[in-house]
Amino acid sequence: FGFIVIFLKAPSEEQRIRDGVPILSQNAGWSAKDWDGVNKEVADLLKNESKLERSDLSGWDFKTDGKPLNGAEIVESVSFLNENFDVLNTAKFGDLSSVKTILVIQVHDRPVYLQYLIESMRNTQGISETLLVFSHDINVGINNELIRNITFARVYQIFYPYNLQLFPTVFPGQSPADCPEKMKRDRAQETNCSNWSYPDKYGNYRVAQLTQIKHHWWWKMNFVFDGIVDKFKMNDPWVLLLEEDHMLAPDALHVLDIVVTNRPTYCAACEIISLGFYLKSTNKYGQDIAHLGVHPWYSSKHNMGMALQRATWKKIQGCSEMFCSWDDYNWDWSLMQVSAKCLPQRFRVIFTKSPRVIHIGDCGVHTHRCEAHKALKSTQDLFQQYKDRLFPSSMTVTDTSRRSLKPSKENGGWGDRPPTVRAQQDATGQGVGSTAIGAPFDAQHENSVQHEHQYFNYLHHLIE
């Protein structure tokens, strides 16, 4: 048995690093061409991704006794790394006992966006009092460097153990025996591909690159609450969910603190706070800068910059069967079903009418324009235009609604696998390894599984 050791560079003293963020991020005029050199590592990785026939271990440094690690040993090594991470900057800011807000950032492979987010966090008042948790589904050197050079807050870095970089050709990755996404069921049966009898409701078969997002989200949430909040005996902090292509307004944490403090007055029954809101126009941004809304939570409106506490997460966790079996690869639409159909009462949300979390990602899963510098510039201009109105001393609820919008139908993409695997998983008995943190799921055979030791055994069976 061996452990994975990731060698991450210590904070650099080079001129290109300033205050925890490369000074490149301050030049909003950089084009995609300008970034070719910076992103070459990522570009090469993605270009070769579809050609991989085994785990891509290029980003990982294995220290073994000379024998190759099997899949189960790889997973346990990554889990060991996650559980034993040495929190950064505690000497400067203290331990985690005083942290009232955790910012959890789901990271993939877009370092341009990530460093824009980091720069915005550096400029956010109150950031030194928080914990930043970066959760990755791929190990990319430049992302690690950006994060390890943060000096303005405490930092915890975790890696989703069952990611496609490590397991590209075995479930939950894409096995060569899996049916192609668009193959017709009759043809799939004829070719006898492994999951031919389990397409999604639209007749399509599972695409691992898409399902990994929901896998990662579920695992990350369990790890944060069980593996960080509980482990460090934190005093019920608010957990603010971000992604690598978000930006924070300078007063984002100031606004969050106002809402948390006054929640009993604004809406005592509201369990979710949303700092993000999808604006069709910014014409009223200044007018609404101190205004809040109170609505039933709806995924496509209130999924950005979403904050919640442990009691709310436990309700979601208690509905894992619905979340994990709902035929939708989107975590937010799956959560919408939990709110609408599993909970006694739907979630209600307090949201900022003028968002303090902005989405600048025009290059991602669904869009590929890749002009991050333009989105960054427009967001910076917005904050600059209204800088004198940020940091309101108080806020007022001006928009209240009890009308619950109808949840959307499934988007699909969450096809099942043979039910016999469930029996194999159930028969594995006790959990393997030291971790008992919640894990991701992919299909109906995982419906009743709520803790990682069960899913961990299941994946052991598939990847050993």
d(Cα 198, Cα 284) in Å, to the nearest integer? 48
Q: Is residue 339 part of a domain?
A: yes
Give the range among 1-5, 22-26, 267-271, 325-329 with minimum mean pLDDT: 22-26
Q: Which residues are annotated as a binding site for substrate?
A: 106-110, 137, 212-216
> H or E element: which one contains 307?
strand 306-308
Q: Is residue 71 part of a domain?
A: no
Question: How many Å from the N-terminal Cα to the C-terminal Cα in the chain?
Answer: 13
d(Cα 155, Cα 286) in Å, to the nearest integer? 33
At residue 413, the pLDDT reads 86
Which segments of 223-344 does DSSP mark as H helices, in order? 252-267, 299-302, 310-317, 320-325, 331-337
d(Cα 232, Cα 226) in Å, to the nearest integer? 10
- Helix 141-148 crosses helix 111-122 at what angle (to 10 degrees)? 10
Q: Which residues are annotated as a binding site?
A: 106-110, 137, 212-216, 245, 359
Quick: pLDDT tens for 126-150.
999 999 999 999 999 999 999 999 9
Give the range among 222-236, 363-377, 382-396 with minimum mean pLDDT: 363-377
Quick: pLDDT tens for 274-329.
999 888 889 999 999 999 999 999 998 999 999 999 999 999 999 998 998 888 88
Q: What is the mean pLDDT of residues 1-21?
A: 41
d(Cα 58, Cα 325) in Å, to the nearest integer? 34
Q: What is the mean pLDDT of residues 8-18?
A: 38
At residue 337, the pLDDT reads 92
Q: What does the longest C-alpha to C-alpha distance in the chain come to? A: 67
Give the model's confidence band at 407: pLDDT under 50 very low, under 70 low, under 90 confident, else very high.
confident
d(Cα 67, Cα 172) in Å, to the nearest integer? 24
Quick: pLDDT tens for 443-457.
333 332 333 344 444
Q: Is residue 65 part of a domain?
A: no
Q: Is residue 214 part of a domain?
A: no
Q: Is residue 105 part of a domain?
A: no
* 2 has a pLDDT exceeding 60: no
Are 407 and 328 a contacting pair, CB within 8 Å?
no
More confident residue, 463 or 377: 377
* 415 has a pLDDT exceeding 90: no
d(Cα 180, Cα 188) in Å, to the nearest integer? 8
Tokens of 186: 């009759």
At residue 411, the pLDDT reads 85
Q: What is the mean pLDDT of residues 92-119?
A: 95
Q: What is the mean pLDDT of residues 363-388?
A: 74
At residue 279, the pLDDT reads 80
More confident residue, 170 or 14: 170
At residue 59, the pLDDT reads 64
Are 120 and 253 a contacting pair, CB within 8 Å?
no
Range of the domain at 356: 254-304+324-405
At residue 260, the pLDDT reads 98
234: Cα separation from own chain's centroid: 21
At residue 16, the pLDDT reads 37
- Closest by Cα among 328, 289, 135 to 219: 135
Are 349 and 273 a contacting pair, CB within 8 Å?
yes
Q: Which residues are annotated as a binding site for Mn(2+)?
A: 245, 359
d(Cα 134, Cα 88) in Å, to the nearest integer? 12
Q: What's this model's pTM, rounded to 2 decimal places?
A: 0.81
Q: Is residue 392 part of a domain?
A: yes
Q: Is residue 216 part of a domain?
A: no
At residue 362, the pLDDT reads 62
269: Cα separation from own chain's centroid: 26
Quick: pLDDT tens for 256-273.
999 999 999 999 999 999
Query: Can you spell out the DSSP letters for 151-182?
Result: -SSEEEEEE-TT-TTT-TTSTTS--TTSPPTT
Q: What is the mean pLDDT of residues 14-42?
A: 41
Give the model's confidence band at 64: pLDDT under 50 very low, under 70 low, under 90 confident, else very high.
low
> H or E element: which one contains 43?
helix 40-49
At residue 220, the pLDDT reads 96
Q: What is the number of structural domains in the chain?
A: 1
Give the model's confidence band at 53: pLDDT under 50 very low, under 70 low, under 90 confident, else very high.
very low
Q: What is the mean pLDDT of residues 326-335?
A: 91
Which segments of 386-437 does DSSP mark as H helices, in order? 420-426
More confident residue, 39 or 375: 375
Under DSSP, is residue 292 helix (H, G, I), strand (E, B) or coil? strand
d(Cα 191, Cα 169) in Å, to the nearest integer? 19
Q: Is residue 131 part of a domain?
A: no
Rounded to 5°, the CA angle 364-415-440 comes to 70
DSSP state of 342: I
Tokens of 5: 């050791």
